[in-house]
Structure 1
């Protein structure tokens, strides 16, 4: 299943990039955010209410990105693309490739990669981040992210835990841009069943878990040092239902999840290119095989937008 999903992602991304040439004007630098690891416009790990690309009203824009995350025990590559329509609608697609490294070898699955395709949509329903920057009205958007985890050697384990290989997140984001203070604030509330962002499946019924959505808040703050450089931080609460299922399987707290955080700097040398570098702390990920080590490391991302 993984290979067809990857081919679909590449084909869709190529089509989106071709469409991007339709818009050559743009927004203020960095006010459209960058591409998250799930493809939506925002910070690195959480979506914002902004619509990605440089397209403004009555325009269609496109963007493409590549991101790499490296922690003590894991690696993640993500690539994808998005379309922005009339600064109101956003469609995105992303392909994640999670390298389990030593964890896979510990599970007798050397070379284990977890691959996930994410198709997302977002619509701005209220406000305008730039035009409303002189009042208290934030820009508000609602969105979804449908995630499909490819088939791997973990299928049997996920089945035992009662975890599914696909799921859909729903979220609402509010973004407030304070131009006079060079400050951007964002809050997102996500309804999700995803374990570790979906890379360990969705939901888990073993151990008496109820396979229901849970609400997880996410926060971002960014300060514009100049018109093309921003620094900031993000905090994303992570669902931890899989730990209970892990206990039911005799793993103790071996499947515990913790919140994700980052501190980032973003640079836009021009209106079409942005580069992001961050320090990330993803907490523990499958501590049963990683010795309860915190997964800290780096995040780098490059985006081209039109």
Structure 2
């Protein structure tokens, strides 16, 4: 309840302050996407091909986001900053702090990302928008990842290619978004438990998908699925999924609430709970 109260209090402040800004930007409402837990534009747990922000040709855009995932034995807080130019290039930074409640300890990870639009368009072309990117991750608690869990490294890079398409009036006259992402990674629990296993990096391809249905111009509902490599021998790693509701009151603010199921995380099973995120875009 404290998380909900704080987030809605922050949302009220943001909505009030957002009136001071003009909404005169080129891209249409909600096509900025959201901020994922790793900083790049997308859903809560999956990067999309969308370039973050509302800047179009020759325009800059920036976005800041704060989110929290509360499940049975963990709390993950993420603060991120994203910048984009020309609707072609996106740079991002995110800091994650994972509280492991049963052990009364915390794990911090920094993520530096870049994404480039390669081809297509989200709306105005027949083919989907296709982008490629990477996320360079640094785990600030190597003693936990390497010494305790047997990970190979405390830093590594994820590479991904992703395709997104928004169909207007596709389902019951409502707009439909579909996204598919292929990621090449050796991250354990997205890097929060280190990278690789033993003396090997153990990269592999994993799949991620997202879907969203716009109920109107401001509200969308949907779900996501993210495959996890599960390569760390000492602990188990389940695939992730969520069901979300997103609100875009204007081009400055996006608020997302979701039910998340992380399955087994390390030694703890049935990690389910709530995800809440607020994004400010300019």
CA separation in 1, counterparts of 2:145 and 2:237? 19
The question of 1:113 aligning with 2:103 is answered no
Tell me the SS of whatever aligns to 1:154: helix
Q: How does the TM-score come out when normalised to structure 2?
A: 0.88
| Mapped contact 1:23–1:60 kept (Cα < 8 A) | no
Which sections of structure 2, spanning at least 5 residues, go unmatched? 1-20
CA separation in 2, counterparts of 1:200 and 1:31? 33
The corresponding residue for 1:52 is: 52
- Going from structure 1 to structure 2, the CA distance change for 1:130 and 1:152 (only over 3 Å counts) comes to same
Pick the structure with more strand per residue: 2
The corresponding residue for 1:195 is: 188
The question of 1:298 aligning with 2:274 is answered yes
**1:269 aligned to 242, 245, 249, which one?**
249
CA RMSD of aligned residues (A): 1.7
- Going from structure 1 to structure 2, the CA distance change for 1:114 and 1:225 (only over 3 Å counts) comes to same
The corresponding residue for 2:10 is: none
| Mapped contact 1:235–1:259 kept (Cα < 8 A) | yes
| Mapped contact 2:122–2:128 kept (Cα < 8 A) | yes
CA separation in 2, counterparts of 1:156 and 1:171? 25
**1:174 aligned to 163, 166, 174, which one?**
163
The corresponding residue for 1:18 is: none
Which sections of structure 1, spanning at least 5 residues, go unmatched? 1-20, 105-109, 247-254
Tell me the SS of whatever aligns to 1:157: helix
**2:218 aligned to 219, 228, 245, which one?**
228
The corresponding residue for 2:29 is: 29
| Mapped contact 2:222–2:245 kept (Cα < 8 A) | yes
- Going from structure 1 to structure 2, the CA distance change for 1:52 and 1:58 (only over 3 Å counts) comes to same
| Mapped contact 1:122–1:141 kept (Cα < 8 A) | yes
The question of 1:73 aligning with 2:62 is answered no
The corresponding residue for 1:250 is: none
The corresponding residue for 1:89 is: 89
The question of 1:144 aligning with 2:120 is answered no
The question of 1:241 aligning with 2:231 is answered yes
The question of 1:122 aligning with 2:115 is answered yes
CA separation in 1, counterparts of 2:150 and 2:139? 15
- Give deviations 1:239-269, integer Å, cap 9, x for gaps: 1000x2x1xxxxxxxx100000000000011
- Give deviations 1:45-101, integer Å, cap 9, x for gaps: 000000001111110010000001000110010001100100000000000000001
Give the length in aligned residue pairs: 258
Q: How does the TM-score come out when normalised to structure 1?
A: 0.81
CA separation in 2, counterparts of 1:204 and 1:80? 28
- Runs of 4+ aligned residues of structure 1 deviating over 3 Å after TM superposition are 21-24
Deviation at 1:153?
A: 4.9
Deviation at 1:212?
A: 2.6
